[in-house]
Amino acid sequence: MGQKTILLITDGIGFNASDKFNAFANAKKPAYDYLFKNVPNTLLRTSGLAVGLPQGQMGNSEVGHMTIGSGRILYQNLVKIDRAIDEGSLEKNEALQSLLSKCRRVHVIGLYSDGGVHSHLRHFDAICEIAQNAGCETWAHAITDGRDVSPSSGVEFLKHLQAKFKVASVCGRFYAMDRDKRFDRVKRAYDVLMGETAPLEISPSRYILQSYERGVSDEFIEPAS
């Protein structure tokens, strides 16, 4: 009977040659210390081109697990969509064009940041532009991030969005992207999308600035339209 092999993944542990401000290097970890000293070991790159992401793009749990499990580089959706935009194949997509040909008004909703984990604002913008080019009245519903990017970067992202498209609503991912089965959170986002709340009397970017002043960061921006 051959020797058994264990694939053990410890989330969140990275390597840094310096032990300054390095919790892992300074922790008491006799098992790891023994392994590093006594058994063959190497390092894996977990970001950028090494895992099928754009150069300089940070990795994430899903990408890391997929790459380790497959044992090869798999181009991620972020790269595939970027290429589809650059090559023009996204705009020529038959299913998308068939949909747009039947629409007079299009609402685009998604996480609006350059985090690149669940979404990227470049893809959001591209869909809006394609809808506009097809003659559709286009409205953007922005979900603010604050987790995969700086917690107060949303206002600049919204200014960018407002300069290009009509913004119909804004909402923190805490509400619109809840994954803890808290329907009370999701319902608040849903009610805004369905027009069940009073409309904002200020611009979305100004609304976010006012939220910052109350100590509310991007992830927790209360749904508003």
Catalytic residue numbers?
A: 61
Decide: 68 and 9 in contact? Cβ < 8 Å.
yes
- In the chain the beta strands, taken as DSSP E runs, fall at 105-111, 137-144, 166-172
Phi, psi of 168 (to 5 degrees): -90, -30
Q: How far apart are CA 132 and CA 45, in angstroms?
A: 40
Q: How far apart are CA 143 and CA 219, in angstroms?
A: 9
Half-sphere exposure of 36 (CA within 13 A, CB side): 8
Helices (H), 94-203: 94-100, 121-133, 154-164, 173-176, 183-193
Half-sphere exposure of 206 (CA within 13 A, CB side): 4
Decide: 172 and 147 in contact? Cβ < 8 Å.
no
What length is written for the chain?
225
